[in-house]
Structure 1
């Protein structure tokens, strides 16, 4: 598995992964390549956007880390990181998320982040389990989601 920074040429493959997941959630959130490019790969608040590519060249997943600015869309404290992880449904529980998170965690530390938020839909049991396994702990309970936070220890 190759894990590397996302580039604009990855947007179409990332869009396929995201769209498949959104469809399984019955979500109307956008998942088209333009949205992926603007919201993940080239977002001005991006700290890191990382992809996992299988030996056959297929993109298996991606992870985005942004820094929350004042009055952000995520309603988390300014200066926190905001993470999102998307892995092909047929590739779940194969270690891809952990590989991606290793890179993201390095980027978070290099950026000086002290906390990372993951807000996960209440029905996304695998997502909540993944973030718990990565060390995130619940910090807020929303009507439709659970907010999990990872506190980074310097060093």
Structure 2
């Protein structure tokens, strides 16, 4: 499978929403528990600052197979960005996340960030493995972190120094 990495276009929002909602609907270990309307994801993109990066992964047929974004976050210091990564069910483990991160980390360096934070549910084994493979290290673990439905899953906050 050939993968192309490119910047987000507003026409990608519908496919990004479908990909994310598929993960949510199968009970994936994302922090999002309820399907998102397309307008909500579009509002996240629209709120973006000049220091936000939205990157798309497509296969050789043009099908969206993953996306990643990183941006400033109110709970982090100004030198840190927060990152999120989503890869289509069934194509995980094919280097898509690695290729997305290579592009995103270049953007974050160019934007002047010193480090990137990934906050991952403690029960998200694949997410924890992915960020560890990218070189992220735990800097804070919250064993009592709770989801919006009241379940306690814990959360690992991982740091990647640029």
- TM (normalized to structure 1)? 0.88
Report the secondary structure of 2:119's partner residue: strand
Counterpart check, 1:10 vs 2:12: yes
Aligned to 2:21: 19
Bigger drift between 128-137 and 46-55 goes to 46-55
Across the aligned residues of Structure 1 and Structure 2, the Cα RMSD in angstroms comes to 1.5
Structure 2 gap segments, 5+ residues each: 145-153
Return the offset for 1:29: 4.1
Aligned residue for 1:53?
58
Q: Aligned residue pairs: how many?
A: 146
Provide the residue aligned with 1:146 in structure 2: 156
Tell me which residue corresponds to 1:44.
48
Deviation at 1:43, TM superposition (A): 2.7
Alignment partners' CA distance in 2, 1:85 and 1:17:
11
1:83-120 CA deviation, whole Å, 9 max, x = no partner?
Answer: 00000111100100011011101101101110100000
TM-score (normalizing by structure 2) = 0.84
Q: Unpaired segments of 5 or more residues in structure 1?
A: none
How far has the Cα of 1:64 moved from its partner? 0.3
